[in-house]
Amino acid sequence: MATSGSDAGGIVWADGLCKKYGKTEALSQLSFSVDEGEIYSIIGPDGAGKTTLFRILTTLLLPDEGKAGVDGLDVVADYRDIRRRIGYMPGRFSLYQDLSVEENLKFFASVFNTTVEENYALVADIYRQIEPFKDRRAGKLSGGMKQKLALCCALIHAPRVLFLDEPTTGVDPVSRREFWTMLKKLRDEHGLTVLVSTPYMDEASWCDRISLMQGGRFMQTDTPVGIVEAYADRLFAVMAADMHGLMTGLKACPLVATSFSFGAAYHVTLVPGATPDALRSWLTAKGYAEVGITEISPSVEDCFMALMKTSEK
Minimum distance from CB of 110 to ligand ADP (Å)?
29
Name the nearest CA neighbour of 178 among 153, 211, 150, 206. 206
Residue 26 or 82: which CB sits closer to ligand ADP?
A: 26
Nearest distance, CB of residue 220 and ligand ADP, angstroms:
16
Question: Among residues 117 and 312, whose Cβ is nearest to ligand ADP?
Answer: 312
* CB nearer to ligand ADP: pick between 196 and 291: 196
Handedness of CA 242, 243, 244, 249 (dihedral sign): positive
What is the rounded CA–CA span in Å between residue 212 and residue 304?
A: 7
User: 47 or 139, CB closer to ligand ADP?
Assistant: 47
Distance, in Å, from the CA atom of 302 to the CA atom of 312, rounded to the nearest integer, reads: 15
CB closer to ligand ADP, 72 vs 199: 199
Where along the sequence are the contacts to ligand ADP (CB under 6 A)? 21, 24, 26, 44, 46-52
What are 296's strand-pairing partners?
Answer: 235
Closest contact distance (angstroms) between CB of 271 and ligand ADP is 33
Please report how close the Cβ of residue 196 comes to ligand ADP at its closest, in angstroms.
Answer: 12
CB of 44 to ligand ADP, least distance (A): 6
Helices (H), 112-237: 120-130, 143-155, 173-190, 224-229
In the complex, what is the shortest distance from the CB of residue 216 to ligand ADP, in angstroms, rounded to a whole number? 7
Burial 125-143 (b: 16+ CB within 10 A, else e): ebbeebeebeeebbeebee
State the CB neighbour count (10 A cutoff) for residue 243: 14
**Own/partner pairs for 130-135, CB < 8 Å, 24+ apart?**
130/101, 133/101, 134/100, 134/101, 134/102, 135/100, 135/101, 135/102
CB of 118 to ligand ADP, least distance (A): 33
H or E element that contains 84: helix 79-85
- In the bound state with ligand ADP, the residue whose beta carbon lies nearer, of 129 and 169, is 169
Closest distance to ligand ADP from the beta carbon of 48 (Å): 4
Closest approach, Cβ 54 to ligand ADP, in A, equals 8
Nearer to ligand ADP, 50 or 267 (CB): 50
114, 107 Cβ separation under 8 angstroms:
no
For ligand ADP, the closer of residues 28 and 129 by Cβ is 28
Q: What letter represents residue 63's amino acid? A: P
Q: Where are the beta strands (DSSP E) in the chain?
A: 12-21, 24-34, 39-43, 65-70, 73-74, 86-89, 161-165, 193-198, 209-214, 217-222, 235-239, 256-262, 265-270, 292-296
Residue whose CB is less far from ligand ADP, 215 or 276 = 215
